[in-house]
Amino acid sequence: MASATPAEFDLWLGDPHRRPLVMGILNVTPDSFSDGGKFSDAGAAIAHGQSMIESGAAVLDVGGESTRPGSEPVQADEQIRRVVPVIRALAGRSLISIDTGNARVAEAALDAGANIINDIYGGLLDPKLLPLAAQARVPVILMHMQGRPATMQVDPRYSDVMAEVTAFLKGRVDAAVNSGIDRHRVLVDPGIGFGKTSEHNLTLLGRLKELKSLGQPLLVGTSRKGFIARITGESIESGRPFGSAATVAWCIANGADMVRVHDVGAMSQVVRVVEAIQRSGAPDFRGL
């Protein structure tokens, strides 16, 4: 589905037997945790986006504000300045999500050609965001985060991290539906690395199938995150490819419908192999 239309994506969202997709991360920022500054120039970002499309990304997630631990908010005008030229250039080549919790940024991105809103704040930062998604009839991705990026990694605590994340996401799905968004257009994301310790992250991944009880398409983003380095010792400079690949394979095998990754080409291969194993009861490798 690398070149799918919004209508085809809508059919995918409503299909209980949907095949897993890859979302490519396109940070148009100077300070993102992994690739900050590499694609802050619009030309470099557009070229990288095209490369990810050619490598198998079904969705490009374009963001103009770093949300790494300790990051500070970026004004809406600056986010718009960063992302709109990139979205305009790539619109029509791929499905594009705008990574923002700000309704004004989201509206500008949709006007430029974005098709999806990806909100790490779960619709709580800006009360205008969910009504905007409803009016525009676009899918919305709602994530769990404890706290805010500037402080989220300062001693996060849970009694039962899976139960609390699941309850939060259920509430946000209900809020989205009550705002007028069609239920099948609401995706959920457990927010790996957002207000969670390494142990919290591992617990969520280990119990990932429990999130399927929500009945919503499931997005998971583990790519290059710090908990991987605490296990493998891989540096951020290395890109943490093997630890990231292990988590992507696990997520697909345990019910993720979409994975958000930096290394689209390699992780698309991981997804395809895991999916082939899952379908091995009646294999048809001619289309692989």
Domains and CATH numbers, the chain: 6-287 (3.20.20.20)
Q: Give residues with Cβ within 8 angstroms of 74, minimum separation 6.
A: 29, 64, 65, 66
SS3 230: helix
Query: Does the annotation mark 240 as catalytic?
Result: no
**140-143: strand order across its sheet:** 186-189, 140-143, 116-119, 95-99, 59-63, 21-27, 258-261, 219-220
Contact 234/243 with Cβ under 8 angstroms? yes
Catalytic residue among 68, 82, 185, 260, which?
260
* Cα–Cα distance, 207 to 205 (Å, whole number): 5
SS3 100: coil
> What pLDDT is stored for residue 288 in this prediction?
42
Catalytic residue among 185, 196, 225, 240, which?
225
Query: Does the annotation mark 38 as catalytic?
Result: no
* Cα–Cα distance, 113 to 92 (Å, whole number): 8
Per-residue pLDDT 10s for the chain (288 aa) are 666 899 999 999 999 999 999 999 999 987 544 555 566 688 999 999 999 999 999 999 999 998 877 668 899 999 999 999 999 999 999 999 999 999 999 999 999 999 999 999 999 999 999 999 999 999 999 999 987 777 778 788 999 999 999 999 999 999 999 999 999 999 999 999 999 999 999 999 999 999 999 999 999 999 999 999 999 988 877 889 999 999 999 999 999 999 999 999 999 999 999 999 998 864 454 444
